[in-house]
Amino acid sequence: MRRPVIAANWKMFKTTGEAQAFAEAFLPLVKDAQEVDVVLAPPATALSTLSRALEGSAVHLASQNVCAEEEGAFTGEIAPRMLTDLGCRYGIVGHSERRTLYGETDEQVAAKAAALLSHDVLPIVCVGETLEQRETGQTFAVVGVQLQESLAKIPPDRAAQVVVAYEPIWAIGTGKTATPEIAQEVHAMIRERLREQFGAAGDEMRIQYGGSVKPANAKVLMGQPDIDGALVGGASLDPESFSQIVHFEDGDAA
Ligand code: 13P
């Protein structure tokens, strides 16, 4: 049985004070969430604050990005060991906003994922197609290449620790969620590719769905056989709405 992993990607939102207030409101709401891994990925500036705020709770901390280098003259970058130092358990790599706005390549994503893993930070590797790619029937080809190349440096004996996030770009921040059928179809293809690449570990790897996940659609998405959690943007900024997603509850807080 794969344990669901529900992660909040706050993107460039929340100051330290706002992160602290979120934690104070959120932690009591998810105390009883024992069946899922709950993860918060704040901006780098709030990692330290949240690290302290999450102490003693079961909620994990994640980074939104990382530098693949160990250390050195890389102005503005953050090394994997700086993330472990702050207690990060997970690290998002290859988010479509990094790929499209900052030109991140599959090769860079692969190096970042491997660097995280070598420091025992579990990578959340994002893949997903644009609307144009979907409409021209290229979804499987595009996602297949992203997967193969972004996971190219993962040692097979560590693959089970890697999380893949399928985030169709046309569903991110648009309010347009993929239907459970569309999402499951791609997740099943991803599962098949992971099995081909990593053998039995492919069945253990968790595949999250991301793109306009909210309390009202979390339950049906999470009910699909190959959807093992969610990577949530907008609806994760509010403690109430994110806690409803964690509990896979229906609701209208988002
Ligand atoms: P939204 O949930 O705001 O669509 O964002 C999804 C996302 O990009 C999470 O990484």
- The verdict on the CB of residue 95 being under 6 Å from ligand 1 is yes
| Closest protein CA for atom 5 of ligand 1 | 233
- The verdict on the CB of residue 9 being under 6 Å from ligand 1 is yes
- How is residue 121 written in tokens? 């930070």
Q: Tell me the whole-structure pTM to 2 decimals.
A: 0.97
Contact 86, 51 (CB under 8 A): yes
Nearest to 80 by CA among 49, 110, 90: 90
Q: What number of other Cβ atoms are within 10 A of residue 11's Cβ?
A: 17
Which run of H or of E encompasses 9? strand 5-9
Burial of residue 146 (CB within 10 Å: 0-12, 13-18, 19+) is: buried
Non-local (6+) Cβ contacts of 13 within 8 A are 43, 237
- The verdict on the CB of residue 231 being under 6 Å from ligand 1 is yes
Contact 168, 128 (CB under 8 A): yes
Quote the percentage of the chain above a pLDDT of 70: 98
Question: How far does residue 128's CA lie from ligand 1's centre (Å)?
Answer: 12
pLDDT tens per residue across span 88-123:
999 999 999 999 999 999 999 999 999 999 999 999
Quote the percentage of the chain above a pLDDT of 90: 94
Q: Could you tell which of 6, 11, 96 is best to mutate to test the pocket of ligand 1, judged by most ligand atoms within 8 Å of the CB? A: 11
- The verdict on the CB of residue 94 being under 6 Å from ligand 1 is no
Please name every residue paired with 164 in a beta bridge, in sequence order, or none if there are none. 125, 207
Catalytic residues: 95, 167
Q: Could you tell which of 10, 12, 172 is best to mutate to test the pocket of ligand 1, judged by most ligand atoms within 8 Å of the CB? A: 172
| Closest protein CA for atom 2 of ligand 1 | 233
- What sign has the CA pseudo-torsion 165, 11, 216, 178? negative
Question: What would you measure as the largest C-alpha separation in the chain, in angstroms?
Answer: 49
Architecture of domain 5-250: Alpha-Beta Barrel (3.20)
Domain boundaries along the sequence of the chain: 5-250
pLDDT value at residue 253: 40
Angle separating helix axes 16-30 and 239-246, nearest 10 degrees:
40
How far apart are alpha carbons 50 and 230 in whole angstroms?
Answer: 20
pLDDT surpassing 60 at residue 69 = yes
- The verdict on the CB of residue 173 being under 6 Å from ligand 1 is yes
pLDDT surpassing 50 at residue 254 = no
**Which atom of ligand 1 is closest in space to residue 210's alpha carbon?**
6
